[in-house]
């Protein structure tokens, strides 16, 4: 067997390559320091993952890191991950406390096989898992192997991997003769006359094929100005990534350019809304959610471009409408502006607190990132005021 060598990886022993967190593209320090040494806990993704170039594997780890951060964790919870190609990608690393299985986080190394659903491990993944055991043993980690379901009520790591956990058989099995990973099954929704992927598996930069084409068609149906250079060509490049980010920004969800289940749900809502929208302005649904539709209605009331983005132009116009003047008209949606909006929409003095739970963060450029699922009284009263044409 040849020693695997790559400029961006660390060859640590025959048949095993471990990529550092910096190579993967995530922080090198996540969570508190620790020394989990009691064994390994095996995990999988749950939903199926897409395969392709190894760059996709790194992108998926970055997506997991962002998802775990959004759940309030310090970052990706697994210590190590093994991709289809048999490369071990560093998550937290073996000198940190994990966030992968309550009861085992400080004592056991969490190892995720990057697959899910009915997908089975490749021969390269299994070989890497075996080689990894020797590497970990040299660093004091015991040989014990358990599954996530041994610690918590969960189906993880799936029946196939769990049978291997119980039997100790990490040989090639029925996946040993597969040189090419099977294509994951994609499902679709039909919305506004187009079929759009459900986001499980993910779609991300570097992928090609029918699922990407359907995504692009859905994005152009939602906003025809997107994808101006290449259009719906079935190739997920920079232009498609920018279009996905435009969707995420407009709908107030995490902006990462990866089309997953959250982005798919928002595209479905956006297409459904545009398909059912009558001619002329229609009243907002008073649901307390601060998103694209509320932004557009406020922008029309303020007579600025109704692009659905909560940015500095919209905020300045809102500040002026709410009676702010001078330095207070800075295009930044902060506590002072929030209090002015709360007074404008008629909240009681006790409720005028400068806190808008629907707003997650505001960048230095004034772009607002939203908590799209959060319902707030300020947003609800704003929607009522806009509907009554009193804003």
Do 349 and 364 contact (CB within 8 A), yes or no?
no
Both tokens assigned to 253: 């969800």
Query: Region 171-176: what's the mean pLDDT?
Result: 51
Q: What is the dihedral of CA 154, 157, 163, 168, to 10 degrees?
A: -120
**Residues ≥6 apart with Cβ < 8 Å to 40:** 108, 109, 110, 111, 133, 136, 141, 144, 145, 146
Residue 375: pLDDT over 90: no
Mean pLDDT across 10-33: 78
In 3D space, the residue among 307, 211, 190, 194 whose CA is nearest the CA of residue 260 turns out to be 211
Contacts of 283 (CB under 8 A, 6+ apart): 387
Q: Could you tell me if 28 and 21 are in contact, meaning their C-beta atoms sit under 8 angstroms apart?
A: yes
Rounded to an integer, what distance in angstroms lies between the CA atom of residue 84 and that of residue 217? 30
Identify the residue with better confidence: 346 or 208: 346
Exposed/middle/buried for residue 111 (C-beta within 10 Å: 0-12, 13-18, 19+): buried
- Cβ count near 41 (within 10 Å): 32
pLDDT digits (tens, 9 = 90+) for 261-305: 888 989 998 888 766 554 445 567 787 888 788 888 898 888 888
Look at residue 1 in the predicted model and tell me its pLDDT.
27
In the prediction, which pLDDT does 254 show? 74
Segment of 6-10, 47-51, 179-183, 264-268 carrying the highest mean pLDDT: 264-268
pLDDT at 149: 95
Q: What is the pLDDT of residue 334?
A: 92
Residue 66 to residue 383: CA distance in whole angstroms: 31
More confident residue, 356 or 186: 356
Provide the sign of the torsion angle of the four alpha carbons 119, 219, 289, 62, taken in this order.
positive
- Note the pLDDT of residue 161: 94
Percent of the chain with pLDDT over 70: 89
Q: How far apart are CA 318 and CA 336, in angstroms?
A: 12
Task: Assess whether pLDDT exceeds 90 at residue 382.
Answer: yes
**pLDDT of amino acid 259:** 86
What is residue 3's predicted lDDT score, i.e. its pLDDT? 30
The average pLDDT across 369-388 equals 85
CB 90 within 8 A of CB 58: no
In the predicted model, is pLDDT for residue 170 greater than 60? yes
Write the pLDDT tens digit of every residue in 204-228.
776 778 889 999 999 999 998 899 8
pLDDT confidence bin for 11, thresholds 50/70/90: very low
Task: Compute how many other C-beta atoms are within 10 angstroms of the C-beta atom of residue 160.
Answer: 17
Q: How confident is the model at residue 8 (pLDDT cuts 50, 70, 90)?
A: very low
Residue 128 confidence (pLDDT) above 80: yes
- Note the pLDDT tens digit of each residue in 80-116: 999 988 889 999 999 999 999 999 999 999 999 998 8
Count CB neighbours of 294 within 10 A: 24
Phi, psi of 185 (to 5 degrees): -85, 125
Is residue 10 scored above 50 in pLDDT? no
Rounded distance between C-alpha atoms, residue 314 and residue 190, angstroms: 33
Q: What is the pLDDT of residue 365?
A: 80
The stretch 137-154 carries a mean pLDDT of 93
User: Whole-model pTM?
Assistant: 0.53
Residue 323 pLDDT greater than 80, yes or no: yes
Mean pLDDT score of the chain = 84
| Residue 193 banded pLDDT, cuts 50, 70, 90 | confident
pLDDT above 90: residue 364: no
Q: Which residues make Cβ contacts (< 8 Å) with residue 183, sequence separation at least 6? A: none
Summarised one tens digit per residue, pLDDT across range 326-343 is 999 999 999 999 999 999
186 against 185, higher pLDDT: 186
- And the tokens for 49? 């993952």
Q: What is the pLDDT of residue 182?
A: 54
The Cα-based distances of 194 to 92, 197, 244, 275 in angstroms read 41, 10, 17, 11
Which residue from 113, 111, 110, 98 is spatially nearest to 49, judged by alpha carbons? 113
Going 32 to 38 to 40 to 43, the CA torsion angle's sign is: negative
DSSP H helices, the chain, are 21-24, 54-70, 123-137, 159-167, 210-222, 238-251, 261-276, 292-302, 312-321, 335-344, 377-387
């Amino acid at each position: 067997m040849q020693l695997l060598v790559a400029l961006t990886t660390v060859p640590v022993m025959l048949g095993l390559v471990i990529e550092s967190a910096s190579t993967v593209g995530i922080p090198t320090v996540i969570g508190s320091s620790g020394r989990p040494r009691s064994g390994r806990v095996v995990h999988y993704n749950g939903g199926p993952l897409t395969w392709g170039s190894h760059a996709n594997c790194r992108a998926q780890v970055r997506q997991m890191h962002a998802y775990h951060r959004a759940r309030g964790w310090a970052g990706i919870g697994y210590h190590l991950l093994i991709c289809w190609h048999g490369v071990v990608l560093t998550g937290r690393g073996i000198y940190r406390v994990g966030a992968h299985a309550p009861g085992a986080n400080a004592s056991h190394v969490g190892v995720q096989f990057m697959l899910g659903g009915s997908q089975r491990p490749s021969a390269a993944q299994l070989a890497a898992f075996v080689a990894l055991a020797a590497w970990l043993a040299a660093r004091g980690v015991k040989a014990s192997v358990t599954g996530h379901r041994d610690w918590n009520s969960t189906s993880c790591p799936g029946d196939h991997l769990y049978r291997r956990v119980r039997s100790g058989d990490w040989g090639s099995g029925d996946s040993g003769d597969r040189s090419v990973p099977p294509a994951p099954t994609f499902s679709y929704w039909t919305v506004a006359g187009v079929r759009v992927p459900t986001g499980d598996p993910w779609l991300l930069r570097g992928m090609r094929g029918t699922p990407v084409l359907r995504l692009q068609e859905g994005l152009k149906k939602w906003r025809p100005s997107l994808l101006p250079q290449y259009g719906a060509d079935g190739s997920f490049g920079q232009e498609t990534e920018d279009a996905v980010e435009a969707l995420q920004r407009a709908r107030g969800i995490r902006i990462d350019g990866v089309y997953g289940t959250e982005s798919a749900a928002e595209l479905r809502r956006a297409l459904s809304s545009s398909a059912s929208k009558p001619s002329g302005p229609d009243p907002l649904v008073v649901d307390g959610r601060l998103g694209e539709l509320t932004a557009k209605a406020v922008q029309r009331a303020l007579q600025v471009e109704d692009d659905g983005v909560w940015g500095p132009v919209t905020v300045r116009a809102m500040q002026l409408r709410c009676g702010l003047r001078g330095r207070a008209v800075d295009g930044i949606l902060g506590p002072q502006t929030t209090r002015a909006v709360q007074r404008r929409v008629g909240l009681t003095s006790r409720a005028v607190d400068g806190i808008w739970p629907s707003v997650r963060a505001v960048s230095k450029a004034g772009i607002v990132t939203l908590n799209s699922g959060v319902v707030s009284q300020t947003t609800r009263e704003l929607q009522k005021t806009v509907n009554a044409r009193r804003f």
